[in-house]
Structure 1
Amino acid sequence: MAVVSDTKTPNLRCLKAAFLAMEPSNCLISLARRTSGGSLTEEVQNFILELCVNSVYVLRREENRILKKISFFLPSGIDDRSSQRNLVVSLYCSLNLLEGDTGCALWPSCLFLSEFILSYPKLFSDKVCFEVGSGVGLVGVALAHVGASKVILTDGDGSTLENMKCNLELNHLRSGKVQSRYLPWEFAAESELLKYEHDCVLGADIIYDPKCVPHLIEVLRMLLKSKRTFILPEEKEASVAYLATVIRNKETFNYFLRAAEEAHLSVMDITQDWQPLNLLPYMLSYDRTSVCLYRIS
């Protein structure tokens, strides 16, 4: 995890960040034109050649991995780390989702949830946070940045988990504070989940397969039974979950809502009330309006 200072104009900074994040070519061209007032001036072309192209490099840990750098533009005063303006996260991501490597991709809900965490750091600072279906690990990096006391990242796919571990190492987060765990939802045990005494549960784009919904609901039910004990035994606070998702299939999502109600879980849409800051202004391929945020208790 690297923090860099802002030394360029906002438009040039956005253009470089887009290159490092491997944004699609049409998005890069649009940003370049915006930077130079509509045409690709010589100044912008030189900037692309001298700074962007020289800074972009591809590393393959396997045949289907590419290195992306996601830059969050943090405004001053967003947290106690106000002097650290840009948070840059290095991530190995999948090149070929057609092979079923969806867990190693950067999905809109993952970006949205990370922006939410960075926009409201006090919700997660000094908290034990447990993520279900952690994918590339971006949410975990955001949680570590805002000062979560402990972060447990889980996934039920072996290759995704190995990729996530590699990403944690890239960002210098393989320690007792940030842990990765193998968690197939259908085999999750309540005794194993509750031992973490977590304060909050997080998930991004995990409501997508109707076959998995019953297992996901059971995992959430068990996780939300946890109550963290503070200084005095009577000081206890119930766990809460924040789930970000794109509703691609209405029937699947309605099935999730019915199953949650049957499990006595309260699902509240907080998308409008808790809008995150736009910390990824250069990422034109990211449609944050498609993402909904839910609070589950």
Structure 2
Amino acid sequence: MEAREAAAEADGAVAEPDVLTDFQRWFFTMSRLKSFNWKFVENDLQRNKSSEIISEILKQTCLHPLCRSFPPSVRYRRLFLSELIRLEAAGCDPLDELYDALGEVVGEAEGSECYKSYFLPCGGAVSLLEKVALISEGTTGLVTWEAALYLAEWALDHREFFSDRTVLELGSGVGLTGVAICRSCRPRRFVFSDCHAAVLQALRDNVRLNGLDGRAAPAVSVRRLDWTTATEDELREVGADVVIAADVVYDPDVAHSLVELLRLVLTRSSPPPAVLVCCAVRNPQTYGGFRRQLESRGIQPEVLDGAVSHVFPYDRLSHMELIRLTAADGLQV
């Protein structure tokens, strides 16, 4: 092992333990296959004339206990194993366990759902049942989006912001951000919310899947919250110290309803909660409209700059903006 790592460093490659960790993280989040360091595997096979590296990758991915309980999609596993076979065939003798793994996945039927697992710095993973398609059952809320991952990373860097506080998440989707906060940041209470029936069911399933049943700290609940009809009484019942939302600004009509709800949140509590909204700015015009609506309703957005720790693998090309919202002095409903 030491000889292989020394050779890798001499070649300017990443040391093997890092490569294996990356393969595991990318595999369980179903990252694009071109993200993987296949060149390292190819070089290792040619240098050592041994399939040991393939065997180690299998142990960290398709043969890992997490894959038995929460497997990525059938198609994804099939493509992943096919790439390993392509490299192995060119570099060393056939590895029986590799072909056995492919034979097993070939016999599985493809479904509309799959699991994605996101490893946490504190140990363990957030495993979520998500839809394979980006849009399903009339909503985009059944998959994890980049802003949810970014906000979770920010939370992991600022755990004290959530510690021993009541947190309300708007538009929770399948639950990545909230589950990560519950598992790592010690909130006193966490309220997941959404309004789409299928999303709410997925949320309940994923909350239970990750052992957040409300019987142990933190106290966790999932509730329906419609931004167009939410009342002061509903918000008072939650009693949030912190309100968060990620990837919720994607449509001008939705943005208008969100702004009105945020105005209610900021003006009907004393002291008002801390409010964070994280957005992947895919459409500058839509996002700019959201910012203008905030300011026209007396809500001041403050951009929280600074890098976040890269905990989860995802496309970081999108421009992310995390803003903290406060009510202008003297703002009244």
Please report the TM-score for the alignment, with normalisation by the length of structure 1. Answer: 0.81
- Matching of residue 267 in structure 1 with residue 306 in structure 2: no
For structure 2, list consecutive stretches of 5 or more residues without a partner in the other structure.
1-15, 74-109, 327-333
- 8 Å CA contact retained: 1:129, 1:200: yes
- Matching of residue 183 in structure 1 with residue 256 in structure 2: no
4+ residue segments displaced more than 6 Å: none
Following superposition, the deviation at residue 123 of structure 1 comes to 0.7
Larger Rg: 2
- Matching of residue 52 in structure 1 with residue 50 in structure 2: no
For structure 1, list consecutive stretches of 5 or more residues without a partner in the other structure.
1-7, 75-84, 228-235
Q: 2:177 aligns with which of 106, 126, 139?
A: 139
Please report the TM-score for the alignment, with normalisation by the length of structure 2. Answer: 0.73
CA distance in 1, matches of 2:44, 2:165: 48
- Count matched residues: 262
- 8 Å CA contact retained: 2:265, 2:272: no
Q: Which amino acid counterpart does residue 150 of structure 2 have in structure 1?
A: F
- Matching of residue 286 in structure 1 with residue 286 in structure 2: no
- Please give the residue correspondences for 1:74-89 in structure 2 after superposition, counting only pairs within 5 Å: 74=121, 85-89=122-126
Q: Which has the higher contact order (CA 8 A, sep 6+)?
A: 1
Following superposition, the deviation at residue 288 of structure 1 comes to 6.4
Q: Which amino acid counterpart does residue 20 of structure 1 have in structure 2?
A: F
Report the secondary structure of 1:54's partner residue: coil
**Which residue in 2 is equivalent to 1:79?**
none
**Which residue in 2 is equivalent to 1:96?**
133
Q: If each structure's helix is expressed as a fraction of its own residues, which one has the higher value?
A: 2
Q: Which amino acid counterpart does residue 277 of structure 1 have in structure 2?
A: S
Alignment RMSD (CA, Å):
2.3
- Matching of residue 202 in structure 1 with residue 244 in structure 2: yes
**Which residue in 2 is equivalent to 1:251?**
285
**Which residue in 1 is equivalent to 2:196?**
157
- 8 Å CA contact retained: 1:65, 1:93: yes
Q: If each structure's strand is expressed as a fraction of its own residues, which one has the higher value?
A: 1
**Which residue in 2 is equivalent to 1:114?**
152
Following superposition, the deviation at residue 290 of structure 1 comes to 2.3
- Matching of residue 277 in structure 1 with residue 283 in structure 2: no
- 8 Å CA contact retained: 1:140, 1:178: no
CA distance in 1, matches of 2:209, 2:45: 34
**Which residue in 1 is equivalent to 2:324?**
295
Following superposition, the deviation at residue 144 of structure 1 comes to 1.1
**Which residue in 1 is equivalent to 2:102?**
none
CA distance in 2, matches of 1:40, 1:288: 32
CA distance in 2, matches of 1:288, 1:121: 25
CA distance in 2, matches of 1:194, 1:15: 45
